[in-house]
Amino acid sequence: MFKETKAFSGFAVDDIAAAKKFYGETLGLDVSEQHGMLRLRIAGGIPVLVYPKSEHVPAEYTILNFPVDDIDAAAKELIARGIVFERYNDKHDEVGIVRGGGPLIAWFKDPAGNILSIIQE
């Protein structure tokens, strides 16, 4: 039934202006605003909808994963842009990258507290 539909994902934030600045300026994504919501344009052409929610509760899981070729270079660039990586266990290195037990990955949060990651392909 939906095999040919162009489905897209979405998530909530508590402050559209802060989200627009973060996703557009800090992460460098193409962001457009319409009807009080944001559309993030990511590689592949499928948009991600970001919508306001007055009683927003941050997701407790990763809502967006950004595949990267070189996680060390990506992490350094994000740190230079003010990103602080989350630490969930003792497998993180000094930067915040998990090395061991799976792909190289590092998690960080958007201004609304939603969890994002960079993950080495």
Q: Convert the pLDDT of each residue in 61-102 to its tens digit.
A: 999 999 999 999 999 999 999 999 999 888 888 999 999 878
Nearest to 83 by CA among 70, 97, 69: 97
Give the model's confidence band at 104: pLDDT under 50 very low, under 70 low, under 90 confident, else very high. very high
| Tokens 């592949």 found at | 44
pLDDT value at residue 77: 96
pLDDT value at residue 89: 83
How far apart are alpha carbons 19 and 17 in whole angstroms? 5
- Chain centroid to Cα 78, Å, comes to 12
Query: What superfamily in CATH does domain 9-120 come from?
Result: 2,3-Dihydroxybiphenyl 1,2-Dioxygenase, domain 1 (3.10.180.10)
Judge if pTM exceeds 0.85.
yes
pLDDT value at residue 92: 87
pLDDT value at residue 22: 98
Give the model's confidence band at 43: pLDDT under 50 very low, under 70 low, under 90 confident, else very high. confident
Task: Calculate the dihedral angle through the C-alpha atoms of 59, 111, 81, 32, rounding to the nearest 10 degrees.
Answer: 90
